[in-house]
Amino acid sequence: MESLLKNLNKRDFISVVANRQKKFAAADGAVPSGTDASRQLARSLHPRAQYVKVAAVTERAPDVKSFTLAPDPARGTTSLAYFGAGKYLTVFVEINGMPVTRAYSISSAPKDALEGRYELTVKLVDGGLVSRYILDNWQVGTEVTVSAPEGNFEYQPLRDAPTVIGLAGGSGITPFLSMAKAIRDGDEDFDLILLYGSRNKDSILFYDELTALEKDCDRFRVIHVLSDKDAKAGKGFEKGFLTAELIQKYAPADKPYSVFLCGPQQMYEFVDKELEKLALERKFVRHEMFGEFHNPSTQADYPAGVPETVKITVTQAGETRTVEGSSNDSVLQILEKNGISAPARCRSGECGWCHSLLVSGEIYTPPQLDYRRMADKQFGFIHPCCSFPLTDLVIDVPEAK
């Protein structure tokens, strides 16, 4: 057969091998550096864990405290990871031999992180084991381990409108505080109008800080919305709830706006109905997660006849054991209550850190929290933080490293 490449030499490829050997022989024999700017940046923004110490405690209200966290060089953390306003930290604590995690939004400014400062605010949750523990035990000097900054509740100029209506309830104010500070510092570029729901004037968290921020920054405005019937309102106050009418009153009339929500589950149930009246495009409504989901049996699609207690046989790093728990608890909670540390960050189904294999058995996941990948569902992977056992289970859970 006649060659199509007549003028090229078919033996040239032989020299390719020799040429390669020559190149390597001439190369530097030093130990490879193993680093570059991409790796350094990735490690700085996403450290595996951050070892910090409580540097200050501020009482905000009865059973509400802010904790300033600073790096703890003795345990290997010399600087804190920078973050986008709105992100949260997962706190790792051990209570009576039970390893648990909780996610708290950072309320300090992103630029404070560069100076070695994060602020977390913890409010006592009804029957809250972890919040009670932190409020009672954390004091100046307490050693704490937290995650890298996590989460997606952030302003994104290519997606969100130039004006954001923030709807906050209770301690849901924290990510908005960070956003307001970031706007003030020039680290974020949007207008934030915050409608902050509280019971009465005394129960407003960060009242002074919010007032000061409003003064310092003309792109931030706060309107306190007081729900108590006899609450005294005045300038800068509204009475009632976070309603569609109220949003319309403060939102720009002639241009699109984004609505960001952060607060308890009950607030979302109310506000989501109000938002329907405004018929906003879905891209303009963003929710921060509200934390753990409780009482799955109240859900309409929860099946009947689920046993009260279940057995879970769990394999972790090659070790297998069987534990017992209540079917009203998530798989993650059952593991933790039995002293098994599982990887978990958001505890709301979204982040996927707890991604585990369900070998056998059945679970219930509330549909609104089912952020599993499509293939996960097909191949039996679950997010234990929002999976509730319906039968005895056999699962394979990665190590919490």
Partner 1 sequence: MKNNYDVIVIGAGNGGLAAAAHCAKAGLKTLLLEKHNLPGGSASSFVRGRFEFEPSLHELCGVGTPDNPGDIAKTFMEMGAEVDWRSHLSTYRLIVPADENDPEGFVGENGVRVKVDASMPMGFEAFARKLDSLVPGSYESAMKAFRLSTLMYEAFDMISGDKINPVKLLTRYGDVFKMAGHTVKECLDELGMPEKAQGIFTAYWCYMGAPPMRFDMLYYMAMMHGYVERGASMPHLRSHEMSCAIDKVIRDNGGEIRYNSEVTKVLMKDGKPCGVVINGKTEAYARYFICNVHPGFALPDLFAPEEIPEDARKKVNGRPVAASLVTVYLGMNRTKEQLGFHDYSIFIAPTVDSDRQFHISQGKLGSDFVIINCMNEAIPNCSPEGTSILFLTGICYGDVMQGVRPQDYKKLKTKLAGDMITRCENTLGLSIKPYIEEIEIGLPPTFSRYLNTPNGSPYGYQLDMWDSMLPRTIQYAKDQPFDNFFFCGASQERGDGYGCAYFTGKKAAGLVIKQFTEGK
Residues from 358 through 377 that contact partner 1 (CB under 8 A): 371-376
Q: Taking the complex as a whole, how short is the minimal distance between the CB of residue 137 and partner 1, in angstroms?
A: 27
Q: Scan for tokens 């290997």, then name that residue.
A: 76
The one-letter amino acid at 277? K
321 binds partner 1 (CB under 8 A): no
Q: Taking the complex as a whole, how short is the minimal distance between the CB of residue 190 and partner 1, in angstroms?
A: 12
Residues from 134 through 163 that contact partner 1 (CB under 8 A): 152, 156-159
Q: Taking the complex as a whole, how short is the minimal distance between the CB of residue 141 and partner 1, in angstroms?
A: 26
DSSP H helical ranges for 27-173: 37-45, 110-114, 129-137
254 binds partner 1 (CB under 8 A): no
Residues from 75 through 94 that contact partner 1 (CB under 8 A): 81-82, 84
381 binds partner 1 (CB under 8 A): yes
Contact 184, 220 (CB under 8 A): yes
Nearest Cα to Cα of residue 348 among 337, 332, 336: 332
Q: Taking the complex as a whole, how short is the minimal distance between the CB of residue 53 and partner 1, in angstroms?
A: 21
Q: Which residue among 136, 230, 269, 281 contacts partner 1 (CB under 8 A)?
A: 281
Contact 193, 166 (CB under 8 A): yes
Q: Which residue among 9, 78, 96, 298 contacts partner 1 (CB under 8 A)?
A: 9
State how far the Cα of 261 lies from the Cα of 191, in Å rounded to an integer.
15
Q: Taking the complex as a whole, how short is the minimal distance between the CB of residue 78 and partner 1, in angstroms?
A: 14
DSSP H helical ranges for 309-383: 331-337, 374-379
**Sheet strands (E) in 244-308:** 258-262, 285-287
300 binds partner 1 (CB under 8 A): no
- What's the N-to-C CA distance of the chain in angstroms? 63
State how far the Cα of 254 lies from the Cα of 261, in Å rounded to an integer.
22
304 binds partner 1 (CB under 8 A): no
Q: Which residue among 215, 235, 255, 282 contacts partner 1 (CB under 8 A)?
A: 282
H-helix or E-strand containing 311?
strand 309-316
Q: Taking the complex as a whole, how short is the minimal distance between the CB of residue 186 and partner 1, in angstroms?
A: 10
State how far the Cα of 51 lies from the Cα of 70, in Å rounded to an integer.
9
State how far the Cα of 332 lies from the Cα of 393, in Å rounded to an integer.
12
320 binds partner 1 (CB under 8 A): no
Stretch of residues binding partner 1 (CB under 8 A), selected from 125-133, 270-278, 327-335, 349-357: 349-357
Q: Which residue among 51, 54, 105, 110 contacts partner 1 (CB under 8 A)?
A: 110
Q: Scan for tokens 């490690």, then name that residue.
A: 43
Listed in sequence order, the residues at least 6 apart from 321 whose beta carbon sits closer than 8 Å to its beta carbon are 313, 314, 340
- Cβ distance to partner 1 smaller for residue 20 or 294: 20
26 binds partner 1 (CB under 8 A): yes
- Cβ distance to partner 1 smaller for residue 71 or 197: 71
Q: Taking the complex as a whole, how short is the minimal distance between the CB of residue 230 and partner 1, in angstroms?
A: 40
